[in-house]
Chains A and B, each alone.
Chain A
Amino acid sequence: MISKLFRSVFLVDLFQGLWVTFRNQDPKRIYTEQYPAERPKVGERYRGAPRLNINPDNGETLCISCNLCALACPENLIVVTSQRNEQTKRKDLTTFTYDTSRCMFCGLCEDACPVDALELTQDFEMASYTREGAIWDRQMLEEGPKPTQYKC
């Protein structure tokens, strides 16, 4: 009873809370990232901008035009077209369109790809000024987005 009176007269509960806020003033506890100057390090498995990998030795695409990514996609946003090569009896990739405006980055296309050609990368800055800019063609998918670099 007396302790209760003491607590209410001397505002113990309020000072307890203020002590918590005071403890958190420590500059070591700063969590803010200075974003454009300081880019966050995203996880290794981050599912960001899609990329169509090319063979680094000869610059040819790794894609075998099997269309499995397009079938796996829940939003049907991948369109793969190919042409049959009479000499090698294989399909050659002609166009590859990926509509990032409808993509929800679920990673099902990446899982479906049998040759690791299509991949969701760590790039996350993919804004564009137009709607058409969000629909990526084969060239864009192979090069990847080029965000502006800022210096502080």
Chain B
Amino acid sequence: MPEATFLDATELVINMGPQHPSTHGVLRVILKLDGEKVNGTECVIGYLHRGVEKIGENRTYQQFAPYVDRMDYVAAVSNGLGYCLAVEKLLNVEAPARAQAVRVILTELNRIASHLLWLGTHALDIGAITPVFYCLREREEVLKIFENYCGARLTTHAFRIGGLQYETYDGFEEEVKKFCDWFIPKVDEYEELLTHNRIWVGRLKGVGVLSADECKEYGVTGPVLRAAGVQWDLRKAQPYSGYEQYEFDVPTGENGDTYDRYTVRMEEMRQSTRIIRQAVDRIPSGPIMGKVPKVVKPPVGEAYVSIEAPKGELGYFIVSDNSTQPYRLRVRPPSFVNLQALDCMVRGGLVADVVAIIGTLDIVLGEVDR
């Protein structure tokens, strides 16, 4: 009787995505499985590639600003801030103090909105369906503030090179303060739902461990790095836009597992509220637009500016050749770099954990593919 050799072929290769709902967009992961165990993964990206960097070379500096919102569309305001800071560095101008304070308020609100969407979808992936409804409800309030401030909810285009286009509306401060007071009990509510829940803890503790050394090797930044115990936050390390005036803590984890990343992000939402409260109390009066010429023509040179986006270090590198359009524009997206650590985190784990790990990395495919 011939031996059935194919039964020895234990490795099974399956595709996860690009239509899988838990890949948060159009990520395709090729999984090599031995039963339930994952022996290796391979990421296939590019399904949402729009050539944003190339578009940048064919637009003037002001015209390109709305396009950066479409990379990380969950945190469009942070993207806008990074781009504006990079062009301002090229032009050697600084936004006025009032503009900086408003920028800080809006970016921190956006950090809350981004983390809320992450929490909702991450919990949904793992099987906790309740938080997503509450998270989207709270996020709606942030989006309403954006809508009242600049007229758009998601792809805001809130900042301009050199400052702000829109003055704050009447009652902006009160609305933001009201949101802060209303929001903190809501975070406690999520914690009540999840933090001690035995299924949540069982699914997250010890899953997708990424040590501090591995994080540094892969260049991983943001909450993923901080959960591994590295206290690295660009708002503290290289303050920009007046972050040095505000008092806040940088939460860190210990084990670098999925549960720690959850606690770090929850604490970050609280710290963001703290920053917003301080910033709202001392918005200085004055102009909102710096001295920027109508036609932006930066001198020959290059500038790299990185900011702490909700997902990690977001960098913009712009080369100028003294024309109205950038000669070359390169984006260092946090999601793209963090995604490279997926294989290291997943290897040896179970199939069910792949979903949890993709969720915990908090990737946005618009930013990965650009």
Contact = CB atoms under 8 A, between A and B. Distances in A.
A17 B130 CA distance: 9
Interface of B: 59, 62-67, 70, 130, 134, 137, 140, 144, 147-152, 155, 157, 165-166, 169, 189, 192-194, 196-198
Contacts of A152: none
Interface in A1-34: 7-8, 13-14, 16-17, 19-21, 24, 31
Interface stretch (A43-51, A77-85, A137-145): A43-51
B369 to A, nearest CB: 18
Contacts, number: 70
A43 B147 contact: yes
Contact of B192 (A7, A17, A47): A17
Contacts of A45: 147-151, 166, 169
Contact of B157 (A31, A42, A43, A107): A107
27 contacts: A7-B196, A13-B196, A13-B198, A14-B198, A17-B130, A17-B194, A21-B130, A21-B193, A24-B134, A31-B137, A43-B144, A44-B169, A45-B147, A45-B169, A46-B147, A47-B150, A104-B66, A104-B70, A106-B65, A106-B66, A106-B157, A107-B152, A107-B157, A107-B165, A108-B62, A108-B63, A108-B66
B196 A16 contact: yes
Contacts of A120: 151
A92 B201 CA distance: 70
B147 to A, nearest CB: 4
A13 B137 contact: no
Q: Enumerate the 3 nearest inter-chain pairs by beta-carbon distance, A residue then B residue, closest first.
A: A106-B66, A74-B63, A45-B151
Contact of A16 (B66, B67, B137, B192): B192
B190 to A, nearest CB: 9
Contacts of A7: 196
A122 B193 CA distance: 38
Contact of B193 (A17, A105, A111): A17
A38 B123 CA distance: 31
A66 interface: no
B328 to A, nearest CB: 18
A72 B144 contact: no
Contact of A43 (B59, B66, B70, B148): B148
Interface in A102-147: 104-108, 111, 120
Contacts of B157: 106-107
Given A20-B192, A45-B150, A74-B64, A111 B165 contact: yes
A24 to B, nearest CB: 7
Given A14-B198, A17-B192, A24-B134, A47 B169 contact: no
A14 B194 CA distance: 9
B197 A14 contact: yes
B187 to A, nearest CB: 12
B193 A20 contact: yes
B197 A17 contact: yes
Contacts of B66: 74, 104, 106, 108
Contacts of B59: 74
B334 to A, nearest CB: 23
Contacts of B152: 46-47, 105, 107
Contacts of B64: 74
A16 B67 CA distance: 44
A150 B119 CA distance: 36
Nearest to A12: B196
Given A20-B193, A31-B140, A74-B59, A44 B148 contact: yes
Interface in A83-106: 104-106
Contacts of B65: 106
A34 to B, nearest CB: 16
A16 B151 CA distance: 39
Contacts of A13: 196-198
Contacts of A19: 192
A46 B154 CA distance: 12
A3 B319 CA distance: 61
Nearest to B198: A13
Contacts of A31: 137, 140
Nearest to B190: A20
Query: Most A CB atoms within 10 A — which of B64, B144, B169, B198?
Result: B198
Nearest to B67: A74
B167 to A, nearest CB: 10
A73 B155 CA distance: 16
A31 B137 CA distance: 8
A28 B212 CA distance: 46
A20 B150 CA distance: 34
Given A13-B197, A74-B64, 8 more contacts: A14-B198, A16-B192, A46-B147, A47-B152, A104-B66, A107-B151, A107-B157, A108-B66
